[in-house]
């Protein structure tokens, strides 16, 4: 490596996962063209990488906040482009970073391709947990999950984070913002053994969460995406204690499995017709139009009666979601609530975003395995617009939860 060239990450090499960094180079030759590379290995051992070519200014400096990429994984000015465009070395692979105790490590390097030389290297350590946030594995009654609690005495608002598979990432990041967060997988047992889904374990989780000593809210907020989002709606409709729901790219009906509560079925399942899948050249399929129509007479019993919920809703829909037509489901719910004289909802719509809306600066995933149909599914989204939607939505989620999941007295703390 060159002893002269300097590669810096500002304000620090260590930051939180959802924080942007400024990548700067200095002591290059005037107008020198270099390639900047980023690489990271996920929890499954899959290597993700990206690169972009830049030209230094007359002083030999490059600043990714100011300067445009000439070619590579992206073109133009995009300060966090190297993280957004990290791609796996295998097709149809989702970036796995779900364990909160382990940081997301990204190696940056500057290359002189003509000389086949590495000029400088630095590693960005992206933490999922801020200083003082506690993480405790929980197994109580019929549920298991992980509880994240901010430092300080509180009181703090309580949030239940539901995910299709166990994931700690979003929950830990919300705890950094001053929420007590319990994250649960929707499926508490192996999917292959599952014939039905019960709301009772989630009710137990809500009671457990509200009993935490630092929790000051009388009711909880729930955040969920995809299948987990319809579970969140059902909790709001049938189970007491739900103050607010952030529904992200879900369905307005109960999907996949019949839903039970207190030993009786409350909703049948809306099904998918795999014959309506559209194949693509990548080997993944488009499933957007394969779900049965919940508004057809034979399927109306699957629709979740959110109009009976005393809950505030934030409906978030990506128009380019190729997993299913979540925007249609969002509009149906809006119209239904209006017909019942309800004004307890807000809506966000992202025109060129796809299904997999994650916390900011997560590598974009165009396709991966759908656990329900066990096939490679296209998730949709134009990568740059999708990344911008994630940044915008992350702020909106925090504002919504702070606004509606209140404490008495109010003391909402952002650890940043």
Question: Do 351 and 304 fall within a single domain?
Answer: yes
Annotated catalytic residue 273? no
User: Which backbone phi and psi does 168 adopt, to 5 degrees?
Assistant: -100, -10
pTM: 0.95
Q: Strand, helix or coil at 381?
A: coil
Q: Is residue 193 part of a domain?
A: yes
Residue 412 has pLDDT above 60, yes or no: no
Domain that holds residue 236: 134-405
- Where does a domain end: 92, 108, 127? 127
Question: Do 254 and 338 fall within a single domain?
Answer: yes
Active-site residue identified among 104, 111, 355, 386? 355
**Tell me: the pLDDT tens digits for 339-390?**
999 999 999 999 999 999 999 999 999 999 998 888 999 999 999 999 999 9
Q: Is residue 1 part of a domain?
A: no
Annotated catalytic residue 321? yes
**Tell me: the pLDDT tens digits for 312-348?**
999 999 999 999 999 999 999 999 999 999 999 999 9
Annotated catalytic residue 355? yes
**Tell me: the pLDDT tens digits for 98-155?**
999 999 999 999 999 888 899 999 999 999 999 999 999 999 999 999 999 999 999 9
Distance CA 365, CA 356 (A): 7
Question: ∠ at Cα 250 (244, 338), nearest 5°?
Answer: 60
Q: Is residue 415 part of a domain?
A: no
**Tell me: the pLDDT tens digits for 1-13?**
556 899 999 999 9
Q: Is residue 416 part of a domain?
A: no
Strand-pair category, 220-225 with 158-163: parallel
pLDDT of residue 44: 94
Distance CA 46, CA 221 (A): 34
Question: Do 263 and 399 fall within a single domain?
Answer: yes
Distance CA 132, CA 134 (A): 6
Question: Do 106 and 152 fall within a single domain?
Answer: no
Q: What is the CATH number of the domain that holds 198?
A: 3.40.50.1820
Active-site residue identified among 111, 321, 368, 386? 321
Q: Is residue 375 part of a domain?
A: yes
Question: Do 110 and 139 fall within a single domain?
Answer: no
Question: Do 282 and 155 fall within a single domain?
Answer: yes
Question: Do 172 and 284 fall within a single domain?
Answer: yes
Q: Is residue 77 part of a domain?
A: yes
- Where does a domain end: 102, 127, 152? 127
Active-site residue identified among 39, 73, 167, 226? 226
Q: In which residue are the tokens 């200014």 written?
A: 57
Q: What is the CATH number of the domain that holds 37?
A: 2.60.40.2240
Question: Do 116 and 147 fall within a single domain?
Answer: no
Question: Do 208 and 343 fall within a single domain?
Answer: yes
Question: Do 262 and 220 fall within a single domain?
Answer: yes
User: Which backbone phi and psi does 107 adopt, to 5 degrees?
Assistant: -95, 125
Question: Do 175 and 213 fall within a single domain?
Answer: yes
- Where does a domain end: 127, 158, 192? 127
Question: Do 250 and 389 fall within a single domain?
Answer: yes
Q: Is residue 411 part of a domain?
A: no
Question: Residue 121's closest CA among 7, 3, 15, 2?
Answer: 7
Total of domains in the chain: 2
Q: Strand, helix or coil at 144?
A: strand
């Amino acid at each position: 490596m060159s002893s002269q060239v300097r590669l810096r990450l500002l304000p620090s090499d260590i930051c939180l996962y959802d924080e942007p960094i400024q990548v700067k180079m200095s002591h290059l030759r005037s107008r020198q063209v270099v390639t900047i590379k980023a690489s990271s290995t996920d929890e499954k051992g899959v290597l993700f990488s990206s690169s972009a070519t830049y030209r230094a200014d007359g002083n030999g400096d490059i600043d990714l906040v100011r300067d445009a990429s000439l070619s590579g994984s992206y073109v133009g000015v995009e300060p966090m482009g190297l993280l957004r465009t990290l791609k796996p070395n295998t097709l149809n692979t989702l970036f796995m970073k779900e364990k909160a105790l382990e940081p997301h490590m990204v190696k940056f390097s500057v290359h002189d391709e003509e000389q086949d030389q590495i000029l400088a290297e630095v590693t960005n350590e992206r933490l999922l947990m801020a200083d003082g946030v506690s993480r405790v594995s929980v197994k109580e009654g019929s549920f298991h999950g992980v509880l994240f609690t901010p430092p300080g005495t509180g009181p703090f608002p309580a949030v239940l984070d539901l995910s299709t598979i166990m994931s700690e990432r979003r929950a830990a990041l919300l705890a950094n913002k001053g929420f007590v967060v319990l994250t649960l997988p929707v499926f508490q047992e192996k999917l292959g053994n599952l014939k039905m889904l019960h709301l009772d374990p989630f009710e137990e989780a809500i009671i457990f969460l509200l009993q935490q000593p630092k929790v000051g809210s009388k009711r909880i907020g729930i955040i969920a995406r995809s299948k987990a989002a319809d579970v969140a709606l059902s909790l709001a409709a049938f189970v007491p204690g739900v103050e607010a729901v952030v529904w992200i790219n879900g369905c307005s009906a109960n999907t996949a499995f019949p839903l039970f509560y207190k030993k009786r079925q409350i909703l049948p399942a809306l099904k998918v017709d795999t014959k309506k899948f559209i194949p693509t050249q990548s080997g993944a399929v488009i499933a957007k139009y394969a779900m049965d129509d919940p508004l057809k007479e034979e399927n109306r019993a699957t629709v979740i009666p959110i109009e009976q919920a005393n809950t505030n809703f934030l409906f978030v829909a990506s128009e380019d979601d190729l997993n299913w037509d979540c925007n249609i489901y969002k509009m149906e719910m809006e119209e239904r609530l209006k017909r019942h004289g309800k004004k307890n909802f807000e809506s966000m719509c992202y025109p060129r975003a796809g299904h997999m809306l994650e916390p900011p600066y997560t590598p974009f995933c165009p396709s991966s395995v759908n656990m329900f149909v066990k096939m490679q599914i296209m998730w949709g989204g134009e990568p740059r617009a999708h990344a911008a939607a994630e940044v915008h939505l992350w702020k909106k989620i925090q504002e919504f939860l702070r606004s509606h999941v209140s404490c008495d007295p109010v003391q909402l703390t952002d650890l940043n």
